[in-house]
Structure 1
Amino acid sequence: MGFYGVLECGSPVYDNHLITALVERWRRETHTFHFTCGEATVTLQDVSVTWGLTIDGEAVTGVDLYDNCMSNFVNDDTSEVDVVKFTRCVALIIIGGIMFPDYQGGSARLIFLKLLRDFDNVKSYSWGSAILAFLYRELCNASLIEKTTMAGPLYILQIWAWSRIKCVNHDRDGLTLVVPSVDPDAIIPVSPYGARWKVGFNYTHSPTHSVRIIRDSLDPMNNNEFNWIVYHKNDIDVKTIIDSYDNKIWRCVYPPYML
């Protein structure tokens, strides 16, 4: 289905204080974070490289419904039909719990169920663009003064911040990511960029668990303290994802007067 990269990044553990500090700098007019060193935002490339999801293809659309999904575990006596049902249930847990989480945290939107009918066709949808649109919408809603909660793929936002903002970049105790050899016929794909953050952290030199401290760290941030170029094509866990797309997919065409 193409969701292996999401699983490889592990269960998200959120730093709510970091996310709150970022929401305070989000501007609905430009869909960017405003820092003293400039404006920046999460892009389609960030979503694709971090989770290994497709960003081109059919649109993820449907009627927005909520319901609870129940399933039993698979055993040796489980029929093939039940295995297929269980697989769809697991996919809904990934989609509803990590990729498109809501405020409740215990429900899955049945809008996605029809997209899981044909397993071979699931990867044809542009999951990455749907995730980015959902994140933008939640950031815009959360930036309103009357809002106190936020849903959405916040793990993407958190990894984006860790990768780019040096003052909130935690020291990693050691990389556990083992990148397999690149084999186009392999069943298991190469782990995406986001999996490199599935490690222990050292919080000695990084602010955490305090919105005020994170604010004070972001306020004086200069251009050298923001990592504008994160993905290097020589990194094996990035190269395989970038090489899988046409180079044009990372670019845009715009009129000369916009320069």
Structure 2
Amino acid sequence: MTITLQDVQIILGLPVDGLPITGRVEQDYDALCLTQLGFPFPENNKTGGRIQIRQLSRWFPNLPNNAGDVEVQRYARAYILQLLGGTLFADKSNSLVHITYLQFLEDLEAAGQYNWGSATLADLYRQLCFAADIDGAEIAGPVILLQLWAWDRLPFFAPIMENVLRSDIIPNEDLFPPPPFGHRWRHVLKTTRTSMHVLTKYREMIDMQTLDEVI
């Protein structure tokens, strides 16, 4: 068993078909930032084409009530960029995001036509390979997908959701589209039945699992 594209689509709600996430890494970062964010690429803040996520938060704190279309789009790009760098394609710094992702956000309507799900899963596989190396001590990438998948498939790992109603997990679909399946883990979680952050205990639980304990 392994994490599949279906898991990515259901757990995170990402599209798993469409245009590939591929392009040039080396670009004119100043021009890219100016045209799509309205700010020059900060010379004192860049690391290999990456920018501090907190820098984006300072540039785009709160959207003004009288914001025009161009400003709204810039705020949207900055927000998506923070999601990409902080969640889907996070590096080990967990504080930097590569500015080259802006090339996929120039047209926000077209951005939804890209295969973000496949790119996310490919990155997770790549990061798992790095982490499985004998010298690997950390892991980056979309580890939230790995965690939620493990909680769904291996319930003896999962914490308990307390006082959760069905209406909290599945909202009124006449008013809102259904959220991704992983959204239900946002509730208060009880972890008294599982040993958290104890590697030896996790290994023991995996070794002792039976077939009927796997979903």
TM-score (norm 1): 0.67
* 1:179 is the counterpart of 2:170: yes
Over residues 234-259 of structure 1, what are the superposed CA-to-partner deviations in whole Å (9 max), with x where a residue is unaligned?
xxxxxxxxxxxxxxxxxxxxxxxxxx
Q: Name the counterpart of 1:113.
A: 102
The one-letter code matched in structure 1 to 2:81 is L
Cα distance in 2 for residues equivalent to 1:128 and 1:225: 27
Q: Name the counterpart of 2:51.
A: 67
Cα distance in 2 for residues equivalent to 1:112 and 1:77: 28
- Decide whether the 8 Å contact of 1:142 with 1:150 is kept in 2: yes
Cα distance in 2 for residues equivalent to 1:84 and 1:74: 11
The one-letter code matched in structure 2 to 1:105 is N
Provide runs of 4+ in structure 1 moved above 4 Å: none
Over residues 112-165 of structure 1, what are the superposed CA-to-partner deviations in whole Å (9 max), with x where a residue is unaligned?
101111111111100000000000000001000111111010011001111111
Q: Name the counterpart of 2:198.
A: 210
Over residues 22-51 of structure 1, what are the superposed CA-to-partner deviations in whole Å (9 max), with x where a residue is unaligned?
xxxxxxxxxxxxxxxxxx111000000011
Q: Name the counterpart of 1:250.
A: none
The one-letter code matched in structure 1 to 2:177 is P
Aligned-partner SS, 1:191 = coil
Cα distance in 2 for residues equivalent to 1:109 and 1:189: 31
Aligned-partner SS, 2:120 = helix
The one-letter code matched in structure 1 to 2:138 is T
- Decide whether the 8 Å contact of 2:169 with 2:184 is kept in 1: no
* 1:46 is the counterpart of 2:34: no
Q: Which has the higher contact order (CA 8 A, sep 6+)?
A: 1
* 1:221 is the counterpart of 2:209: yes
The one-letter code matched in structure 2 to 1:153 is P
Paired residues in the alignment total: 185
Structure 1 gap segments, 5+ residues each: 1-39, 228-259
* Percent identity of paired positions between Structure 1 and Structure 2: 31
* 1:91 is the counterpart of 2:80: yes
Q: Name the counterpart of 1:26.
A: none
